[in-house]
Amino acid sequence: MSGGSLDYAFMRVQEIADSVLQKSENAHHRAFGKHLSKISKALKDLEWVLSGDSAEGEEIEAINNVLPLSCELESVVEDAKVVLSDLTRILNKVKINQQ
C-alpha cells in the first residue's frame, strides 16, 4: 500500500501554510502559518499510518504537537459515554427479559 487514504490532504494544507507564511504581515499570521505546518505534518504522518506505510503510533508525536492533552481526554470521555449508554441499554433489555 502507498499513501492516499486521506487523498494527500496534507499537501494542500502545507501549500496553504506556505502561502500564509509568505504573505503574512504580522505575528498572528506567521504563528497561524506555523501551526498549519504542524497540522500538515500530523496529517501526513496519520495518512501514512492509515495507508499502512508506517507503523501505528508513529503519528502520535506529530498529533500531540497540534492537540493539547485535554482534546484526547475529551475524546475518550465522549467514547466512554457512548459505551456506557449502550451497556445500560443492553443490561436493561437483559433485565426485562429475565423478569
All three cell numbers of 88: 445500560
Q: What is the residue extent of each domain of the chain?
A: 1-67, 68-99
* pLDDT tens digits, 55-89: 999 999 999 999 988 998 999 999 999 999 999 99
4 confidence band (pLDDT: 50, 70, 90): confident
DSSP-based three-state secondary structure for 12: helix
DSSP state of 16: H
